[in-house]
Amino acid sequence: METIFSKIIAKEIPADIVYEDDQILAFLDIKPVNPGHTLVIPKEPVIDGVEASEETMAAVMRVAQKVARAQKKTLGCTGVNYIMNNGEDAGQEVFHAHMHVIPRYKDDNTFSSPNHNDYKEGEVTEIADKLRDTI
């Protein structure tokens, strides 16, 4: 599975790398929501954060937190979003798993609020039961 990110891992195309180890690469997003917006990716070619193994996700989060702490310390951001789009319908555009680590500031107006809905009568229990049984 070749993507723009596998080319970055192979160093075939350049990226502003901020962290690298055997398993993980972190580099700046070319179209940042805010400056310092970083993508943390596993080096193994896995499509998204649902298909990735627990071990891979743990490695991604370990580095995402390092990046978030560095962003707070060096950029002075007052908040950080960890965001992972998994699947086209969830907004994923590059099909190699990646965690966005986005520095945030008070009233920076970068995201509009998601739509929150109400459950129908009985629906919340039914869904919680299904998920609990499956997990």
Among 15, 24, 59, 99, contact with ligand AMP (rule: CB under 6 A):
15
User: What is the C-alpha to C-alpha distance for residues 47 and 37, in angstroms, rounded to an integer?
Assistant: 21
Q: Which is nearer to ligand AMP, 30 or 124 (CB)?
A: 30
Secondary structure of residue 84 in the 3-state scheme: coil
Residues 6+ apart with CB under 8 A from 41: 5, 9, 24, 25, 26, 60, 96, 97, 98, 99
Q: Which is nearer to ligand AMP, 89 or 93 (CB)?
A: 93
Per the listing, tokens 């520095």 go with 103
Q: Which is nearer to ligand AMP, 47 or 120 (CB)?
A: 47
Examine the residue annotation and report whether 116 is marked as an active-site residue of this protein: no
Segment interacting with ligand AMP, rule: CB under 6 A, options 26-34, 65-73, 113-121, 122-130: 26-34
Segment interacting with ligand AMP, rule: CB under 6 A, options 29-37, 54-62, 72-80, 116-124: 29-37
Residues 6+ apart with CB under 8 A from 112: none
Among 18, 24, 25, 29, contact with ligand AMP (rule: CB under 6 A):
29
Task: Tell which positions 85-114 bind ligand AMP, by CB under 6 A.
Answer: 85, 91-94
Nearest residue to 64 via CA among 41, 90, 34: 41
Annotated catalytic residue: which of 37, 98, 100, 116?
98
Output b/e per residue, 70-83; b: 16+ Cβ within 10 A: bbeeeeebeebeee
Binding site for ligand AMP (CB under 6 A): 4, 15, 29-31, 39, 85, 91-94
Return the active site residues.
Answer: 98
